[in-house]
Amino acid sequence: MILETLRDAWKVSSIRKKIAFTLLMLLVFRIGSHIPIPFMDRDLLQNMMGSGGLFDFFNTFSGGSLKRFSVFALSIMPYITASIIITLLTVVVPYLERLSKEGEQGRKKIAQLTRYATVVLGFINGFGLTIGLRNALTIPQENLRYPIYIMVALVLTAGTAFLMWLGEQITEKGIGNGISLIIFCGIVAGIPDVVKNMVSLLKVGELNWFAVLGLAIIAAAIIAGVIFIQEGQRRIPVQYAKRVVGRKVYGGQSSHIPLKVNQAGVIPIIFGVSLVAFPATIATWFPSDSGFATFANKWMTMNGELTSIPYLVVYALLIIFFTFFYTGITFNPIDVADNLKKYGGFIPGIRPGRPTSDYLFKIMNKITLAGGIFLAIIAVIPSLIMGFTNITNIYLGGTSLLIVVSVALDTMKQMENQLLQRHYQGFLK
């Protein structure tokens, strides 16, 4: 199984070097996650951040770096945001659309633009985060306030740029997608804290073993569901017409178009949590007893109570909306239909051209709805767990498990492909 694949991979010198390089880069990430930024009162910072909401979501992705306010506090999120923005702009900006169709050189140019956008967004996010946490900064002199703000923002930006470079190095010289593995490592690093918190709650009697057993069952069900949905696809049969060129016959073979159920991945969740947590984030800028702050903290936060129902409903609807939105960007039925027609392919029973694109659009909408509902259920599970248990800081929930399982599956597939190239037969068929 998985252990056998890892054992076989370790026996191959080239793959062993890639695994060792990947582990070394991830170790560098974990070391950097504990390098603190100066001028910060850690105790006051912990009290300001509290638990739940947007801070805990991004803190989970950063492996705890945000609450420690280390040099990697922003994690790789500015890069992800920049990648999403560039992808969206590719649809509406002719220059980017042209680059996306120019092969390897075009992809390199888009990657370069993504790096520039990452640095800009990193500085904006870093400066905004520094301003938001300014009360926790220990500034020696009042006239050094803004220079220190800028310095801290630059350090945070440099940390994000370094993680971006680290991820690219893992992708190029290691195993798996580097950016995904950094997020994976950050999430897995939070497991000991979750276990420690559960043990503490058990000792003081605020949590019982039945709740722990329930959490284990829910986690197992989520993992099984994630694997089922992530690997699930609708295969559209395609038949290619025979063509006679001289004395040779071309075509005539059958194939299929694999349409993934979860085409958008975890991106709708990231978009959704960013928007739905916006009111609660804005509320931190107002006095705690103000009307807006009271409303946002009661009705638009994930607090595990009945008052969080509007939050969960809006959150789920946003996830479903962004699932359709992002899938529509990444999959274009018209282009697929045109390519099929160009190379003599057709779907049995469906006429080439417009009828084919309409058919693909209809099928894609059905499976995208299923994928969006699945993502919405996965995303709201942490709140449901908090509602039925006394655990108030368990953000290692469905979203995190979705990312962890997806990245693990993708990494194992890449390792398996490299083994198959060397005449190994692994557990993935």
What pLDDT does 429 receive?
A: 47
Structural domain tally of the chain? Answer: 2
- Which residue among 189, 204, 225 closes a domain? 189
Question: Could you give the percent of the chain with pLDDT greater than 70?
Answer: 80
DSSP code, position 219? H
How many other C-beta atoms lie within 10 A of the C-beta of residue 240? 16
Same domain for 224 and 164:
no
Same domain for 248 and 383:
yes
Same domain for 130 and 201:
no
Start-to-end CA span in the chain (Å): 11
What pLDDT does 303 receive?
A: 59
- Which residue among 168, 189, 210 closes a domain? 189
Pick the residue with more confidence: 295 or 232? 232
- 108 lies in which domain range? 1-189
Asked, for residue 422, whether it belongs to a domain, the answer is no
At position 297, the amino acid (one-letter code) is: N
**What does the pLDDT look like over 178-221, one tens digit per residue?**
888 888 888 888 788 778 877 887 887 777 777 778 777 877 88
Same domain for 238 and 302:
yes
Sign of the dihedral through C-alpha 303, 309, 314, 317: positive
What pLDDT does 166 receive?
A: 93
What pLDDT does 307 receive?
A: 62
Q: Which residues of 284-319 are buried (b: 16+ CB within 10 A; e: fewer)?
A: beeeeeeeebeebbebbbbbbeeebeebbebbbebb
* Rounded CA separation 69/361 (Å): 45
Name the pLDDT band for 287 (thresholds 50, 70, 90): low
Same domain for 109 and 29:
yes
**What does the pLDDT look like over 375-429, one tens digit per residue?**
888 877 766 666 555 555 455 566 777 788 888 888 888 887 777 776 544 444 4
Asked, for residue 12, whether it belongs to a domain, the answer is yes
Same domain for 301 and 180:
no
Name the pLDDT band for 28 (thresholds 50, 70, 90): very high
Same domain for 251 and 137:
no
Same domain for 159 and 73:
yes
Asked, for residue 413, whether it belongs to a domain, the answer is no
**What does the pLDDT look like over 306-361, one tens digit per residue?**
666 777 888 888 889 888 888 887 788 888 888 888 877 888 888 888 888 899 99
Please give the average per-residue pLDDT across 119-124, as a whole number. 91
What pLDDT does 427 receive?
A: 45
Asked, for residue 428, whether it belongs to a domain, the answer is no
Same domain for 350 and 339:
yes
**What does the pLDDT look like over 224-243, one tens digit per residue?**
888 888 788 888 888 877 66
Asked, for residue 341, whether it belongs to a domain, the answer is yes
Residue 288 has pLDDT above 50, yes or no: yes
Same domain for 312 and 184:
no
Same domain for 160 and 27:
yes
What pLDDT does 237 receive?
A: 87
Asked, for residue 5, whether it belongs to a domain, the answer is yes
What pLDDT does 26 receive?
A: 92
Same domain for 241 and 137:
no
Asked, for residue 390, whether it belongs to a domain, the answer is yes
Provide the phi-psi class of 157: left if phi over 0, else alpha when psi is between -120 and 50, else beta. alpha
From the number of C-beta atoms within 10 Å of its C-beta (0-12, 13-18, 19+), residue 270 rates as: buried
Please give the average per-residue pLDDT across 153-175, as a whole number. 91
Which CATH number belongs to the domain containing residue 38 in this structure? 1.10.3370.10
What pLDDT does 102 receive?
A: 79
Asked, for residue 30, whether it belongs to a domain, the answer is yes
- Which residue among 189, 208, 225 closes a domain? 189
Residue 270 has pLDDT above 80, yes or no: no
Name the pLDDT band for 175 (thresholds 50, 70, 90): confident
